[in-house]
Amino acid sequence: MAASLSNSDVPVSEIHHLYPAFTLPSHKKFTASLSLSTQNQNCSSLSISSDARKPIICKVLSETNSSLSSAFTELGRERIPIDDDGEDEEMETRQPKEPEGEIAGVWREIHGENDWVGLFDPMDPLLRSELIRYGEMAQACYDAFDFDPFSKYCGSCRYPRSKFFESLEMAHLGYNVSRYLFATANINLPNFFKKSRWPKMWSKNANWAGYVAVSDDETSRKLGRRDITIAWRGTVTRLEWIADLKDFLTPISSHRIPCPDPTVKAEAGFLDLYTEKDVDCRYCMYSAREQILSETKRLLEIYSGEEVSITITGHSLGSALAILSAYDIVETGLNSQNDNRPVPVSVFSFSGPRVGNVKLKERLEWLGVKVLRVVDVHDIVPKSPGLLFNERVPPMVLKLAEGLPWCYSHVGVELELDHKNSPFLKPTADPVCAHNLEAHLHLLDGYHGKGRRFVLASGRDPALVNKGCDFLKDHYMVPPNWRQDANKGMIRSKDGRWMQPDRSRLDDHPQDMHRHLTQLGLP
C-alpha cells in the first residue's frame, strides 16, 4: 500500500513556512514533489528542482505509514549536498530544538508570578513547552477514558494507576499518578457522563473524572520543585453539554465551600459536579472536592520539606473544574506551608467556559491564584455562559448587571490563538474542530506572537490533530478520527472465542482519606 503526493508540487517556500528545519538558498525558486511509500519500510524520495532544472534527490528513511510531517522531520536531520552552478556546497538543515535554558530557574515566572507579562509576544519558548506539556496531561484524560457504550467498563479509566502514563506512551513526562478522581452521575450535567448499555457495569453511579500526579525525583530536579498536577477530564461528547448548563449563578458558600463573601458566585452545574456525592457508591461516597482536598493535603505532608507547586489543568468543562478546585485549595488555606510560605497554585486552562461572576474573578486575584486560559478565537465554548453580560461589556454596564444571575466574567490571563493562521488546518465552520484540544496544542506549537509567522517550534506531529476530529487538510493524508481501539477492545479467549477482556479493579479511596478530611474540618 503506497501513499503519494507525486502529482502535486509543493512550493518549498510553503515547506519552509511549515517546517523551519527545511531551508534552501533564497536566490533560487524551488518546487518539491514528495512521494511516500509505505511498503516494506522503503525510503521516501524528496525531489527538488531549481529553475535551472537541476534535480536534487534526498533520501529520507520513513517508517510504515509515515506521514508528510514525519518525512520532513527526518529530512531535518540530514545534511543535503547541493549542486549549484557546477559547484558543490553543503547545506545543513536545522532540527527542531528543545527550548533553550532550564525551567528550574524561572518556573515561578512561567507559572504566572508576574501574570505572564511579556511572555506572549514574542512567545516565550519555555512557556510554550510548559503549556503543551500540561495540555498533553489534560489530553490524557480523554485518551484514557472509556466512553464506548458497548464496553462493560464504560465511564471508567482504561488503565490501572500504576501504568497510566506508560500505557499512553507518556512515561517520559516523569510523573506518577497518586490517585484517580471520580464524580457522581446524579447531577444535571448528563453529557459529562457515560454509561454502559450492558446491565453488568463497573459502577452505575460514577464516572472517572481525572487524576492527581506527582513529578518523580529526577523530573523534580529538572523542574526546580516537586510538582503536584491535577488534571480534570472534560466532556467527550460534541458540544451538547453547553445546553445542559443551568446558566444560573449561585453562591459558592451555598455548596459548603468556604467563602467570606456571599456575593462570590459560580455556575450551578459546575458546583454540583464538584461537590455532589453518593454515599451508596464506593467511588463517589466522597465528592470530587473531598477527593481533591484530601489528596492534596496528603501529598503536601509527604513533601513538606521540599519546594512544591500545585498545577491544575483541564480542557472544556474540565477547565471549569480546574478553576473551582484551585480556588478551593487556596481559600481553605491548604496551600500554606509550615513556614507560612504559600505553595504557588496555577491553572492552565484550555478552551474553558466562564465559571463565575466578577466577584469570583476578584477573589481569585486577591488569593493569588494564577490562571492562564488558552483559547481559539473561533471556539464558542469560551464565549459561554454569559453571552449578554460578561467582561467584554463596558465596565459601567457590567457594574449595573453584576447582580444578575447570568452576568459572568472570565478569570485570569488569556492567550488567544487563531486556527486560521495554521497552514495545516482546513477552513471549516465545524465548532467541534475549533474546540478540539489537540488542535489547541498544535496552534501553541506554531504560535510565536501576534502577526508572526506560524512555524512549528518543536516539530509536534500535526497528525495528532485528527485523533478525534477532521481538521487537517486532506493532502496530508491523515484520516479523521483515527484513534481507535483495535477490534473495539475485543480479544480472543483461550478457546478462540471473541470477548471483552477483564480489567484490574480500579482503586477507590485511600484508607487514610477520612483522617485528612477530619483534619480539614470536613464531615
Residues marked active site are found at: 316, 379, 435
Strands 206-215 and 175-184 come out as antiparallel
Of the candidates 356, 494, 437, the one whose C-alpha atom is nearest the C-alpha of residue 145 is 437
Residue 491 and residue 502: Cα distance in Å, rounded? Answer: 10
Q: Any idea what DSSP says for residue 162?
A: G
User: Quick one: how far is CA 390 from the chain centroid?
Assistant: 25
* Nearest Cα to Cα of residue 421 among 476, 469, 377, 382: 377
Please state, in angstroms and rounded to a whole number, the distance separating the CA atoms of residues 31 and 13. Answer: 8
Three-class HEC string of 427-478: CCCCHHHHHCHHHHHHHHHHCCCCCCCCCCCCCCCHHHHHHCCCCECHHHCC
Indicate the SS3 state at residue 267.
strand
CB 195 within 8 A of CB 150: no
CA distance 45 to 49: 13
In which element (H, E) is residue 110 found? helix 107-110
Rounded CA-CA distance 409/200 in Å is 43
- 84 CB neighbour count, 10 Å cutoff: 15
Q: Please, are residues 450 and 465 in contact by the beta-carbon 8 Å criterion? A: no
CA distance 92 to 78: 7
Number of H helices, E strands in the chain: 15, 18
Q: Determine the distance from the C-alpha atom of residue 513 to the mean position of all C-alpha atoms in its chain, rounded to a whole number.
A: 28
Query: Among all chains, which residue has been given the C-alpha cell 497552514?
Result: 423
For residue 521, the one-letter residue type is: G
The one-character DSSP state at 27 is T
Q: For residue 226, what are the contacts with CB-CB under 8 A and spacing of at least 6?
A: 214, 215, 220, 303, 306, 307, 308, 309
